[in-house]
Structure 1
Amino acid sequence: MRHFTIVFLLLVCSGSALRAQFNTNRLPTGGGGGNSSMQRDTTKHDHEPDTLTLRFRYLDEPTDFMLDSTISDFQLNYLRVPATYMNLGNNGNAARNLLLSPRMIPGFDPGFHAFDVYGYNHGNAKFYNTNRPYSELGYLIGAKQEQMINLMHTQNRGEKFNFSFGYRKINSPGFYRNQSTNHDNYNVTANYNSQNKRYHIFGSYYLNKLNGGENGGIQNPEDLRNPEYTQLRLIPTNLGGDNDQNSSSFFNTSIPTKNDYQEASILIRQQYDWGKGDSIHINDTTDIYKFDPLFRVEHTFSYTQNTYEFIDSAPDSAWYAGKYGFNIPKAGNDSVFTRHQWRIISNDVSVMQFPVRGNLAHFFKLGGGLDNISGRFQADTISFMNFRVHGEYRNKTRNLRWDLQAKGEFYVLGENAGDYAVMGRLSRFLNETLGNVSLMAMNVNKEPSYVYRYFGSNLDRPWQNLNLDKENITQIQFSADNKKLKYVLTANYYLFNKYTYFKNYKESDQFTGLFNLLQLVAYKRVDLGSFTFDGDAAFQQIAGSAPVQIPAFWARLRMAYTARLFKNLNLYTGLEGKYNTPYYADDYSPVIGQFVYQNTQQFSNTPEVAAFVHFRIKSFTAYVRAENLNSFVWNYNFYAPLYASNDFALRVGLRWWFIN
């Protein structure tokens, strides 16, 4: 609470400097999100612009995006974790998507993805362009000393150069013993265009320090109903010892049993264009130089170093013997330790041709890349290379009605030779009434992630599975996005061949047969006067026997009162509920950091209910939430075997925008 008070007073004192006001135009993009413009207050100054113009792009996407200022979706817009994700009971713990979403990327992959949703990467890096320096500050405080910080700043230095900086901190001891999390994530981007607009350079850097406490779940689920345990933290857990030894402060947390992941990468992309330039006469004193590229040469360099470790300094020998077959000595070094360290150096050269002058979203692209990969483990090292070729055709028309994309990538030589991905997508904006529809098809053939083939620890010989074939996944998708009728519909059909999974805490396996999955995902919003009802729903059905466990139905419904009060107060308050049908939830293996297939324990969870008050006053937004109201009525839910839900919790999230 002391941290909260200091930050709150600091920001209130500087509130007079906040002059940004955001429109309340919410566009339905599946969960209440959307793009909305940002405007300053009506106070004008002759020496500065009246509006903030801020747009951003992603690395391989020619479309501009705008920041989302909606306040309805706390999960996505504030926590930045989709509502369909489930963690192991604490903010920052290992998490997975309840909607099956296979990784469809060819080439080498280490395979450690349980904490991906909390980190930065080059794919979600944003390259900004703004006419005014812009900053964001977010702070959250919750039950059991949960705290979270979000920082972002971007500004242009002249018309040619922009940089941005992002930082996210998650620190949460959690309700249960030995489940503390302490994540630090950094992201820096920059982009520069030369004076003659022929040379462009993009830079992206991220650093993810992910520390997830591992308690192995509670020892006995019956302890949840034992009156002797007046707090959940008193219930014994399988890992971390009898006492909660976490030394926790906001910026210095010691976690004795944890998965410690550090991911760092830098990417530099350089482009040089040939084309035609013209000086456009605006008035007697102003000329603008406009350059339209016709041909481009592009080089992309990236250096990535990832370290994945599991550490247990005081292991329970009986638990490890039963789950992993470890023989932990009684004396000497009795810790459990694993390490996978990977270094990847990539160089890619491409050429691009723009057939229509002035339309950079219409192009042909051909190129090739070389990846040098080396790994270091407890007692082994490995190194190899991959050579790949790729091509893409994109045509997004100037009137934004048609968008055609076809791309492919093929691994010609190296460890992943034979991997490939091909994709085609066609989108059409019909009209304001019918909205936008798109059809996409994709096929990926890829080597299973390396963690399925090899894993080593300090207490056992490396586990190896050398009998794994390449996985093949086909996806066909239809989607419709209608802003007028306020709905989004997506239908996915997946076909799997040689699906790879973990069948227990340390052994991987491969399903040799074919199976398919039908997945329907929908979002709809209904406005009745001042009341808003919006819901997300998903239906999933697997045809054929397969080692995949997913809920057949998942839904989230929000019922809220919305209003604009006192001229500047935008209010959104109501109830939110989430529910999924019974299913055999995956188990979790702490040592290898993977979710594990199981078909012996089915969970029939009750709905999760929260009450909320979200409001925005000019550039200040607050999220006040009373979560897990269901704990007053029903038994605890389970997210995985032995991983139970929390008690009632109150969370307060604050967010400010600054425009200099």
Structure 2
Amino acid sequence: MRQFFIFTALLFFCGNQLKAQFNSGRFGNMGGGMGGGGSSKMQRDTSKHEHEPDTLTITYKLLGEPTSYRIDSSINDFQTNYQKVPSNYTLLGSIGNPAYNTIYTPILKPGFDAGFHAYDVYMNTHKDAKFYYTNRPYTELQYLVGSKQEQVIGVSHTQNRTERFNFAFDYRKINTQGYFRSQNTSHDFYRITSRYQTKNKRANTYMSFYFNKINGGENGGIRSDTFLDNSNFKQRKTIPVNIGNSASQTYSLFNSVIPTKSTYKQTGFLIQQQYDFGHGDTIHVNDTTDYYKYDPVFRIQYTFNLENGNYGFIDNTPDTAFYVNHYNFQPGDTVRAQHVWRMISNDLSLIQFPVRGNLGHFINVGARFESLNGTFLDASVNFGNLALHGEYRNKTRNQKWDFSAKGEFYVVGQNIGDYSVSGMLKRHINDLLGDVRLSAINVNREPNYVYKYFNSNRDAWYNTSLAKENITLLQFATDNTKLKYNLSVNYYLFTNYTYFRDYFHSAQSNSLFNLLQVILSKKFSANAFSWYLDLAFQQIHGNAPLNVPALWTRNRIGFEKTIYKNLNLFTGLELRYNTGYFADDYSPLLGQFIYQQNQKITNNLPDIAAFANFRIKSFTAYVRAENLNTFISTNNFAAPLYPENNFAFRLGLRWWFIN
């Protein structure tokens, strides 16, 4: 708790320094429209040149996407908006432990993939890098403290040094002890982004850098679920686990010692440079202000991308029985595995904008060369790829139509024959009926490399008989702001689906099967009471080595109102539940979820949490009492022999300010 009080003191000190800013309405653009639990977002200024001097205008863009977005300041979703782990993810323990999406989502991307995804939900990537525009320096602080020494720290900052240059920095720390042995985590995530535009607006540069450091304790699950009903093991740390039982562990915020763990390091550096040919005009705003506007007609774009991935596992005190039973080898003194991958890619694209002034309407053709190097404990590989890609996008300026057609083809190299083709049509009908979207994608891809080869200091496994996977997705989706619902219907077709059939053997299903998903989010309101419903229905047809729950749902029911103009309050209960199914097991040495049909996960009660979320101007707090169901029933399970946590208390703080 010492770190919590230090952080609170820091917030108090900063608050005194900035009190005059709040009282003077310096957050003017952020203050409006936050009633009813703060469902709206930070306001976007309609003019970059006529804003009040003390209001905040902040937007951001993603690479390759013409749409501008605003930072979400709503308070009704703790998991997504604050914890940054969507509620449909199931964790094998506390935040920071391996996680999988209960609403199954396959990888729809051709080309090379190392295959280590158990910690993906926490990771930074170039895909979600945000490139900001802000008229004033913006800083956000986050802190979460919970039971079992759980702590999460977040610091974000962005500012425009000039109208043409912006940089942003983001850091996130996850540190947990966990409820069961050897489940402690110590993760660090760094991100830096920047963008620069020349004075004549013809050249643009975007830079993205991230570093992800994972130290995740692994215990292989508890040895028997009967321990949960034994009164001698009310303290869950005393329950024997499969690995990490005798390891000596040290817990601290920045210096935890975890002897049995997965240790991943990912580094990414991307720089994208654009040079435009087009037309520029000087627009007369008033007697003292002129604005230079440049409309590209043709663009040359070069993208350099360097990505390193170091995926390892180490057990300094291995349990012989576990490794003999599950991996068929004697562990010796230490079990260690390590896969190191480096990819360097160079992409050249030519882009044309047929309609002047509409950057959402373009034709993009290009080529990308990839060089890959893999290093293992006793071997190494090198190979390259050449991919051609193209896209036609037409997002009309009236925002009513949005059409996209994309294609990517690997024509030379290790992944020759991989491809992805997709199309999307979106239409805004009207304010009552909202948006409707139709989309389709077909992907042909080489299975992840970990399915073909895995190496440890005790053994190596190969599977050279795998064919390319083929996945098709047909989707209908609708988004309705007025009626407050989102609905999507997904229909997947799988051929040559690749999976792990046990702790170290991969396999492939040659038969065709399909998966139907219906996913709904809806808000119901009655006076000051709200009900947020999230619902997913999933059904598999065919002989499939894939298990999903038929029904998953989350319900947030509570009192939601703005009190005394400045206090946004949402308090109530949250219930999360899914029907019983054969949930995937987990192989800690490989870091992979594996298909099983031996133990069905059937939870008696939903996961129940009581919460009180409130926001006062720029300060937000989340107070939660979680896993209340453990007071009247045995722990629910996330996977075979992986119980979910006992009762937990969590307090999260979020505070943003401008300098």
The TM tier, using the shorter chain, reads: over 0.9
| Alignment match, 1:200 | 204
CA contact (8 A) 2:34 2:568 kept: no
Structure 2 counterpart SS, 1:144: coil
Find the aligned partners of 2:83 and 2:577 in 1 and give their Cα distance: 19
Structure 2 counterpart SS, 1:164: strand
* Residue 295 of structure 2 corresponds to residue 282 of structure 1: no
CA contact (8 A) 2:44 2:59 kept: no
Mean alpha-carbon deviation: is it higher for 507-516 or for 562-571?
Answer: 562-571
CA contact (8 A) 1:305 1:341 kept: yes
In structure 2, relative to structure 1, the CA distance for the partners of 1:34 and 1:446 (3 Å cut) is farther
What are the within-5 Å matches in structure 2 for residues 359-508 of structure 1? Answer: 359-460=358-459, 462-508=460-506
310, 316, 332: which one pairs with 2:319?
316
CA contact (8 A) 2:185 2:217 kept: yes
Residue 49 of structure 1 and its aligned partner are, at CA, apart by 1.3
Give the letter for the 1:538 counterpart.
A
Residue 328 of structure 1 and its aligned partner are, at CA, apart by 3.0
Structure 2 counterpart SS, 1:448: coil
List gaps (5 residues or longer) in structure 1: 41-45
TM-score (norm 2): 0.96
Find the aligned partners of 2:34 and 2:406 in 1 and give their Cα distance: 33
Residue 267 of structure 1 and its aligned partner are, at CA, apart by 0.1
| Alignment match, 2:267 | 264
Alpha-carbon displacement from aligned partner over 1:429-487 (angstroms, at most 9, x marks no partner) = 00000000000000000000000000010011x20000000000000000000000111
Find the aligned partners of 1:50 and 1:655 in 2 and give their Cα distance: 21
Residue 634 of structure 1 and its aligned partner are, at CA, apart by 1.3
Find the aligned partners of 1:122 and 1:549 in 2 and give their Cα distance: 31
Structure 2 counterpart SS, 1:364: strand
| Alignment match, 1:613 | 612
| Alignment match, 1:232 | 236
Task: Give % identity.
Answer: 53
Alpha-carbon displacement from aligned partner over 1:217-268 (angstroms, at most 9, x marks no partner) = 111211111111230001111111235x211100111100000000001000
Find the aligned partners of 1:231 and 1:284 in 2 and give their Cα distance: 74
Give the letter for the 2:632 counterpart.
V
Residue 47 of structure 1 and its aligned partner are, at CA, apart by 11
In structure 2, relative to structure 1, the CA distance for the partners of 1:379 and 1:139 (3 Å cut) is same
Find the aligned partners of 1:363 and 1:500 in 2 and give their Cα distance: 36
Residue 72 of structure 1 and its aligned partner are, at CA, apart by 0.4
Give the letter for the 2:488 counterpart.
T
Give the letter for the 1:603 counterpart.
I
Residue 130 of structure 1 and its aligned partner are, at CA, apart by 0.4
CA contact (8 A) 1:27 1:486 kept: no
Structure 1 counterpart SS, 2:72: coil
Alpha-carbon displacement from aligned partner over 1:253-296 (angstroms, at most 9, x marks no partner) = 11000000000010000000000111112223222111100000
CA contact (8 A) 2:451 2:463 kept: yes
Find the aligned partners of 1:506 and 1:518 in 2 and give their Cα distance: 29
CA contact (8 A) 1:179 1:212 kept: yes
In structure 2, relative to structure 1, the CA distance for the partners of 1:319 and 1:47 (3 Å cut) is closer
Find the aligned partners of 2:619 and 2:391 in 1 and give their Cα distance: 43
Aligned residues: 646
Find the aligned partners of 1:246 and 1:128 in 2 and give their Cα distance: 41
| Alignment match, 1:255 | 258
Structure 2 counterpart SS, 1:228: helix
Find the aligned partners of 1:27 and 1:303 in 2 and give their Cα distance: 44
Find the aligned partners of 1:216 and 1:327 in 2 and give their Cα distance: 17
Give the letter for the 1:212 counterpart.
G
Structure 2 counterpart SS, 1:300: strand
Find the aligned partners of 1:617 and 1:283 in 2 and give their Cα distance: 38
115, 120, 125: which one pairs with 1:121?
125
What are the within-5 Å matches in structure 2 for residues 511-590 of structure 1? Answer: 511-590=509-588
Find the aligned partners of 2:366 and 2:39 in 1 and give their Cα distance: 34
| Alignment match, 2:12 | 12
* Residue 139 of structure 2 corresponds to residue 141 of structure 1: no
Give the letter for the 2:485 counterpart.
Y
In structure 2, relative to structure 1, the CA distance for the partners of 1:23 and 1:437 (3 Å cut) is farther
Pairwise CA RMSD: 1.6
Residue 639 of structure 1 and its aligned partner are, at CA, apart by 0.8
Structure 2 counterpart SS, 1:254: coil
| Alignment match, 2:107 | 103
TM-score (norm 1): 0.96
Residue 23 of structure 1 and its aligned partner are, at CA, apart by 4.5
Q: Which runs of 4+ in 1 moved over 4 A?
A: 23-28, 32-35
Structure 2 counterpart SS, 1:78: helix
Structure 2 counterpart SS, 1:148: strand
